[in-house]
Amino acid sequence: MDLKSAIRTIPDYPKPGIMFRDVTTLIGDARAFRVAVDQMVQPWAGAKIDRVAGTEARGFIMGGAVAHQLSVGFTPVRKRGKLPHRTIIEEYELEYGTDAIEIHIDAVNEGDRVLLVDDLIATGGTAEASIKLLQRAGATVVGAAFVIDLPDLGGAKRIEAMGVPVSALVEYEGE
């Protein structure tokens, strides 16, 4: 199945010149969703993975499905202020300013082997912050899996430079 055909492109969102890659159409197509999850799981079948972490918000959808297929637990990586228990926080740079993500202090165990999952990797800032956060909590991030890579923005290379292998199902040139 051609997964690109299941992903909607919205021109000029969130600003002029940006081609927004919308995976909600893929998630809404039962066959495409199944194929995408199976393809994200395939490289990790038989590997020792203790937990999947997914970054808010579409990473929750993809990551939860991947965790289910791998028969492991799921850790949500949330925006600051969204988790009810004690957390650890990682701040990271945005184009204009900073943002922060967090996990519960007991979201992973020391030595857990974690697969990070999200819908898209662009510049890699959120993925890098997620990896740093999970590592600070004691986990080893063994890989990062995405539905979409925008290779011109360099995010996958940024994550690979951290020693974390990256896989993506489809690539789009440009922003």
159 inside domain: yes
3 inside domain: no
Which residues constitute the domain of residue 166? Answer: 48-171
23 inside domain: no
Q: Give the closest residue to 69 by CA, choosing from 100, 104, 93, 40.
A: 40
128 inside domain: yes
28 inside domain: no
If DSSP states are collapsed to H, E and C, what string results for 66-92? HHHHHCCEEEEEEECCCCCCCEEEEEE
The pLDDT of residue 87: 98
Four-CA torsion 70, 20, 122, 114, nearest 10 degrees = -20
**pLDDT over 70 (residue 81):** yes
Long-range contacts of 130-135 (CB under 8 A, 24+ apart): 130/53, 130/55, 130/77, 130/90, 130/101, 131/159, 131/162, 131/164, 132/90, 133/77, 133/88, 133/89, 133/90, 133/101, 133/102, 133/103, 134/53, 134/75, 134/77, 134/103, 134/108
The pLDDT of residue 106: 97
The pLDDT of residue 113: 98
**pLDDT over 90 (residue 61):** yes
Per-residue pLDDT tens over the stretch 3-46? 999 999 999 998 999 999 999 999 999 999 999 999 999 999 88
The pLDDT of residue 174: 75
Q: Is the peptide bond before 14 cis (omega within 30 degrees of 0)?
A: yes
Counting residues of the chain whose pLDDT is more than 70, the rounded percentage is 99
72 inside domain: yes
Per-residue pLDDT tens over the stretch 83-140? 999 999 999 987 778 999 999 999 999 999 999 999 999 999 999 999 999 999 999 9
Q: Which residues are catalytic?
A: 58, 95
The pLDDT of residue 27: 98
132 inside domain: yes
88 inside domain: yes
The pLDDT of residue 97: 82
Q: Is pTM beyond 0.85 here?
A: yes
Tokens of residue 45, six digits: 């079948």
Span 165-169, mean pLDDT? 98
Span 148-159, mean pLDDT? 97
Name the domain count of the chain.
1
Q: For residue 133, give the CATH number of its domain.
A: 3.40.50.2020
The pLDDT of residue 175: 62
Q: Is the peptide bond before 57 cis (omega within 30 degrees of 0)?
A: yes
